[in-house]
């Protein structure tokens, strides 16, 4: 094929391609989405098309009774005012009686502790209330016949009464100037 025939074949192919493209993408004269005048119209079935003024007046007279909060503000609205009612002939309420067992009272003072070189085994020193006897007890040991040492720290001893299971914490008491 000669060069001239190749250009003629190429030109004719481009012309056919242009016609096909134009026919595919040209704007339509009438669209299928537009309503036509010859279509069937069916009106909505309404018994009485008159405007109901009584219902309209009722809706126009409504008043908003909620909190008038600005919905565009992040702060909470103030609480509603509380009405204080002062009843007549009111007797003062009796003082509440404390419930539950009384606080645990240990008849000893926690005045020191000793531990091994590793610090694992601690022993506490308790002095009886009349300072005549010193009791040495470790964690889990009982002293004065009714108390058990639950936990020992550098500053406090947690003590449990065996009979009732009540707990108390005894703080480490520093010795006075006379020892």
pLDDT digits (tens, 9 = 90+) for 147-169: 999 999 888 999 999 988 889 99
Is 24 part of a structural domain of the chain? no
Torsion of CA 94, 100, 105, 106, to 10 degrees: 180
| pLDDT, average across residues 3-27 | 91
Residue with more model confidence, 44 or 88: 44
Query: Cβ contacts of residue 23 below 8 Å, gap of 6+?
Result: none
Q: What is the pTM of this model?
A: 0.43
Q: Which of 20-34, 111-125, 150-164 has the highest mean pLDDT?
A: 150-164
Is 154 part of a structural domain of the chain? yes
Residue with more model confidence, 82 or 4: 4
Is 162 part of a structural domain of the chain? yes
Residue 176 has pLDDT above 70, yes or no: no
Is 97 part of a structural domain of the chain? no
Is 133 part of a structural domain of the chain? yes
Per-residue pLDDT, 50: 82
CA distance 106 to 146: 10
Per-residue pLDDT, 24: 86
Is 147 part of a structural domain of the chain? yes
Tally the domains of the chain: 1
Rg (CA), the chain: 49
Give percent of the chain above pLDDT 90.
Answer: 25
Residue with more model confidence, 56 or 33: 56
Per-residue pLDDT, 154: 84
Is 53 part of a structural domain of the chain? no
pLDDT digits (tens, 9 = 90+) for 100-117: 777 788 888 888 888 888
Per-residue pLDDT, 46: 76
Is 124 part of a structural domain of the chain? yes
Q: Give the range of the structural domain holding residue 146, as residue numbers without chain letter.
A: 108-171
In residues, how long is the chain? 179
Per-residue pLDDT, 33: 58
């Amino acid at each position: 094929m000669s060069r001239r025939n190749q250009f003629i074949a190429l030109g004719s192919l481009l012309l056919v391609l242009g016609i096909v493209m134009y026919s595919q993408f040209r704007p339509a004269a009438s669209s299928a989405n537009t309503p036509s005048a010859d279509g069937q119209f069916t009106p909505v079935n309404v018994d009485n098309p008159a405007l109901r003024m009584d219902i309209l007046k009722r809706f126009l007279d409504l008043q908003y009774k909620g909190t008038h909060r600005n919905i565009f503000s992040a702060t909470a609205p103030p609480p509603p005012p509380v009405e204080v009612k002062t009843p007549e002939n009111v007797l003062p309420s009796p003082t509440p009686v404390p419930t539950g067992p009384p606080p645990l009272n240990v008849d000893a003072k926690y005045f020191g502790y000793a531990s091994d070189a590793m610090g694992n085994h601690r022993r506490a020193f308790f002095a009886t209330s009349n300072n005549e006897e010193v009791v040495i007890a470790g964690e889990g040991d009982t002293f004065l016949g009714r108390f058990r040492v639950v936990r020992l720290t550098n500053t406090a001893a947690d003590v449990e009464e065996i009979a009732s299971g009540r707990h108390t914490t005894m703080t480490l008491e520093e010795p006075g100037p006379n020892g």
